[in-house]
Chains A and B, each alone.
Chain A
């Protein structure tokens, strides 16, 4: 019995390690969002794990920055699957779109910049509590893509950077 408990704990620990402790994902239903602060420099997105969530306290970004810089550092895409990623902020209830980008060619890394003014203004207007964290969510668009042709797809992101004065 003791060995079974030990085995169970080991499996749990391994699962935690595989998930990473700094970037959390949507659950299977894709509804609840619970992300934790991240300092991770490299973040992997795949077809089966199509969401990256980065948590921020509203005070740390809203009213401070106007531009979001995303670095796609590496793309493994041997099947040349079309890659489109939608960016938004969200809390447990609401999603505030920021924009989207696509890769061309579909395995080419690059730097992508987004103005945050509109999303931040909406968050300030609509978010009821300033105390709860908000998540920056990057979501791979999976429409018209079959899972079997996309199983080797891997997209690596650097840590999101906020810049520019909010005015």
Chain B
């Protein structure tokens, strides 16, 4: 379940600081030498992989990508970073139909991105991704004009046209969403085997993302994309970024566990790829790839194009170690609660201009240490057992002490605390009924602001929470009412608690 905040996102299960690193080796070296602070600052500026769409930042990323592709095409063939040489890596090594599919392609993208950064001179460059869940056509930037567009592979090298649209039954959001809910590693990521392309032993099996949208898009584009020389078409890299995002969504955002099989985790892919200097890449195990999207790059949005949720707290080396373990072991995380103030009743509200306004009987004096800054705990609002809209046509904005809030109230209003989206809707095709979702919104910053601008009498009866249903499309939503099982304020030190590890 996606739980996002427009300005400060939280994932209920994984409170992990939104910082990252330019490379894994730098992180580990820094930690060994006690340079955690430096490492964290590097993590914070890790490259952003943006969704291709008509937006300034995304267009800039595509333009930079075009520059990188042109530069790679201009390199001499004896340079391993040359465009054709990069495609040969795929031709010679790519695993398909087994459990190495995801990590091998993640490592391939990682090294390719490094080469793009080096050739463009921009260390913050992140590969843009083609979100075929949202846009079924190859983006306009990948077609002429201009006639010499480096992102177009040339006439005859694509069968799809600029007006071709991928079948939503194969790549649509509801299909991919259901795939990302698959709990089993083998069914999601592929079956075991003993090599990238084993001649003997088990041959593996396809995971659902690979057999579904991944394979479909290759066949949909055709031309170069139809075979193992597919990286000759620049759209290959943007397609595989989306595939990688699906794995990230499954393992990190939705907290599914990768296999613990050492034949998988310790598998060494060193030598398959070349680094940004054209030398053979080293120290590339499957285990190393699991941390890449946390430490070395980040995705701007989830598969449904809502804001990314990995904006969490990680205050010290111990938390980083825990985070590493969680990501690598697939363990779950539990939020430690201190003060808890529930509303203790269900509430229902209509989707209209008027907000739901409920006062939670919390005494602000209990939060004084947090509000004065002497405690680093957070004050969090939990929205429990909420009905999902039948149509995925509204999201919720949360305000504090703002009974006149409405969908037009700007999010820079000092009463605004955050928002959350419904990642799926009630009618989605899943295994069994949907659990009712819980959401958490951090209201610490808002309360701190309000205590300096409002009379404390306003908080005498407690903290008033105002929930506003905002139509996503701008048109009148089908959803008429929403029901919440309970509202609760609680404080938490926002630490990671390992449930599955001793």
Name A's B-contacting residues (CB within 8 A). 67, 69, 80, 82-84, 86, 97, 99-106, 108, 110-115, 117-118, 121, 141, 143-144
Contact = CB atoms under 8 A, between A and B. Distances in A.
B219 A102 contact: yes
Nearest to A69: B205
A111 B219 contact: no
Contacts of A110: 96-97, 203, 205-206, 211
A105 B130 CA distance: 20
A118 B430 contact: yes
Interface in B82-137: 96-97
B431 A143 contact: no
B215 A103 contact: yes
Interface residues of B, number: 33
Contacts of A121: 431-432
13 contacts: A82-B219, A100-B169, A100-B212, A101-B211, A101-B212, A102-B219, A105-B228, A110-B96, A110-B205, A110-B206, A110-B211, A111-B206, A121-B431
Contacts of B182: 115
Contacts of B430: 118
A83 B206 contact: no
B167 A106 contact: no
Interface in B199-219: 203-206, 208, 211-212, 214-216, 218-219
B167 A84 contact: yes
Interface in B421-460: 429-432
A98 to B, nearest CB: 11
Nearest to A122: B429
Interface in B132-170: 164, 167, 169-170
A80 B432 CA distance: 38
B429 A80 contact: no
Interface in B283-310: none
B186 A113 contact: yes
Interface string B154-193: 0000000000100101100000001000101011000100
A69 B203 CA distance: 14
B8 to A, nearest CB: 35
Nearest to A86: B169
Given A100-B170, A141-B167, A118 B215 contact: no
B205 A113 contact: yes
A105 B170 contact: no
